[in-house]
Amino acid sequence: MSGFQSPRGLRDLLEPLASAHGWATDRAWAAADAAGYARIELPIAEESALFERAVGGTSDIVSKELYRLEPRGDDAVTLALRPEATAGAVRAYIQHGMRSQPQPVRLATVAQLFRYDRPQKGRYRQFTQFDIEAIGDGGPGIDLEVIEMGAAYLRDLGLTDVQVHLNSVGCTTCRPAYGCTTCRPAYVETLRAHFTPVVQELSQVDQSRLATNPLRLLDSKEPATVKRAASAPAITDHLCADCAAHHAAVTTGLATIGVAVLPAPRLVRGLDYYTRTAWEYLLPGEQGQQGALGGGGRYDGLVELLGGTPTPGIGFAIGIDRVVLALEARGLLPIAASGPAIVVAGIEPESVAERVAIAAQLRAAGASARADVSTRKIGKQLEGAVRDGALAVIIVEPDGRLTLRDLVKASQAEPAERGGVIAAVLRLVQNEG
């Protein structure tokens, strides 16, 4: 056994999980393409200041979980491995002048992300998310589109009982252009007053949150904070008229399009940039975060915060790792890719190059094929083909002719010339497919 192992919180993906991840990723891209979301590939690292400003200095992601890369040589900027995709997508929106395009700009990515967090089931330090962003529309209609898209993706994978937990976190600044007046600051003060009487019971971290960002207390996992949060006032009772109307339109619209919603009046999620609509996709009956597959929200002030013109936006992120674990637990993993349909074997060791050439010709014609490049006796090569689940074996004879052995029918043809055998194999693969 090697003295090296994968680092804590990082892992190797083996079959069948590797194929399941690829399948879920392919389905994510297909869902995005079908809905008209343009693909975007973002850098794996950005300036750390981008995340510090966008996500918020008091969030766990920035204060505890960010992987910073120290500057080297002539670089004067500290980079960080991306912990989430929205900040990078908004940076790209601003940098590439996407405001001049028809709005909203719809973007999609499947990204590898990194957070320094305590590893546990479903939570890794390197993970993959399916991310959707719609930037440039402040109306409730785009909320419906994005929320339904995530729910439909999960249902299509087989997670048919997924629930949408919905809340509104109000607005932080007056934006008349979006029909918005300030309501969250007043709620924050109400929340601070609710937690202040028990401040000595809170952890040091949550005491700091009480002073700097009380909204984060609703996202805390500390037992004393969770207990007090259960009786905290609901932000939906403190929304301004415009935010309340937006929330009502989203709630009514989701019911109209058949997306089941559970009100979650204390759902705030872990990112400071959220405004108005916030939601999570959860599986019933799961404990803690194990049932949370993803979520999203509006970020109507983020473009301006990062240096752009005031522009509303909304998006979601769904964890591919969590999705695959949920599928595995329910016995819904897709069948892993099987071995090659055709194995090309040979009686003489000198036929190895010919075997490789035939396998390459079959693959070029659309068949799944591999050459047995060993010098094992033909019996062992046939055993390997059976073990791999091959449909047939082509045997290169000493005189250069080819013999086709059908492993499904347990039959074998007479040796023949190459062209005829290749044609017969391709027909066999097509019929089996």
pLDDT per residue as tens digits for the range 35-61: 999 999 999 999 999 999 888 766 677
> Predicted confidence band at 1 (pLDDT cuts at 50, 70, 90)?
low
Is 337 within 8 Å of 387 (Cβ atoms)? no
For 287, the token pair is 């404990």
Instruction: Check which CATH number belongs to the domain holding 29 and give it.
Output: 3.30.930.10
CA angle 155, 159, 165 (to 5 degrees): 80
pLDDT per residue as tens digits for the range 327-339: 999 999 887 767 8
Residues 304 and 349 in one domain: no
Q: Is the pLDDT of residue 362 over 60?
A: yes
Instruction: Check which CATH number belongs to the domain holding 395 and give it.
Output: 3.40.50.800
**pLDDT (0 to 100) of residue 16:** 87
Residues 373 and 325 in one domain: no
Residues 248 and 384 in one domain: no
Range of the domain at 173: 17-183+239-329
Q: Using a CB cutoff of 8 Å and minimum separation of 24, what contacts does 357-360 make?
A: 358/394, 358/396, 358/402, 358/418, 358/422
> Predicted confidence band at 287 (pLDDT cuts at 50, 70, 90)?
low
**pLDDT (0 to 100) of residue 176:** 47
**pLDDT (0 to 100) of residue 187:** 86
CA angle 155, 156, 159 (to 5 degrees): 40
The more confident residue out of 266 and 182 is 266
What DSSP state is assigned to residue 366?
Answer: T
**pLDDT (0 to 100) of residue 273:** 81
Nearest to 295 by CA among 154, 124, 103: 154
Residues 69 and 170 in one domain: yes
Provide φ and ψ at 149, rounded to 5°: -60, -45
Does 210 reside within a domain? no
List of residues 6+ apart from 53 with CB closer than 8 A: 305, 306
Residues 325 and 347 in one domain: no
For 89, the token pair is 């997508």
> Predicted confidence band at 174 (pLDDT cuts at 50, 70, 90)?
very low
Residues 286 and 391 in one domain: no
Q: Is the pLDDT of residue 297 over 60?
A: yes
Average pLDDT over residues 380-397: 93
pLDDT per residue as tens digits for the range 196-235: 999 899 898 888 888 888 888 888 888 999 999 889 999 8
Residues 260 and 362 in one domain: no
Residues 280 and 423 in one domain: no
**pLDDT (0 to 100) of residue 428:** 87
Residues 164 and 114 in one domain: yes
The more confident residue out of 287 and 306 is 306
Q: Is the pLDDT of residue 178 over 70?
A: no
The share of the chain scoring above pLDDT 90, in percent, equals: 65
Residues 356 and 425 in one domain: yes
Which of 307, 329, 351 marks a domain boundary?
Answer: 329
How many domains does one find in the chain?
Answer: 2
Does 371 reside within a domain? yes
Does 21 reside within a domain? yes
**pLDDT (0 to 100) of residue 177:** 46
Q: Is the pLDDT of residue 75 over 80?
A: no
Widest pairwise Cα distance in the chain: 92
Does 413 reside within a domain? yes
Burial of 208 (0-12, 13-18, 19+ CB in 10 A): middle
> Predicted confidence band at 34 (pLDDT cuts at 50, 70, 90)?
very high
**pLDDT (0 to 100) of residue 138:** 94
Which of 297, 329, 361 marks a domain boundary?
Answer: 329
Does 363 reside within a domain? yes
Residues 248 and 397 in one domain: no
Name the helix (H) or strand (E) containing 48: helix 48-55
Q: Are strands 292-298 and 275-282 parallel, antiparallel or unpaired?
A: antiparallel
- Side-chain-side CA neighbours of 44 within 13 Å: the count stands at 8
Q: Is the pLDDT of residue 96 over 90?
A: yes
Does 227 reside within a domain? no
Nearest to 283 by CA among 102, 150, 155, 161: 161
**pLDDT (0 to 100) of residue 179:** 47
Which of 295, 329, 363 marks a domain boundary?
Answer: 329
**pLDDT (0 to 100) of residue 270:** 65
Does 421 reside within a domain? yes
End-to-end Cα distance, the chain:
41
**pLDDT (0 to 100) of residue 288:** 53
**pLDDT (0 to 100) of residue 289:** 60
Residues 294 and 367 in one domain: no
The more confident residue out of 219 and 293 is 293
Global pTM? 0.88
Does 102 reside within a domain? yes
For 170, the token pair is 């109000």
Q: Please tell me the distance from the alpha carbon of residue 55 to that of residue 79, in angstroms, as a whole number.
A: 15
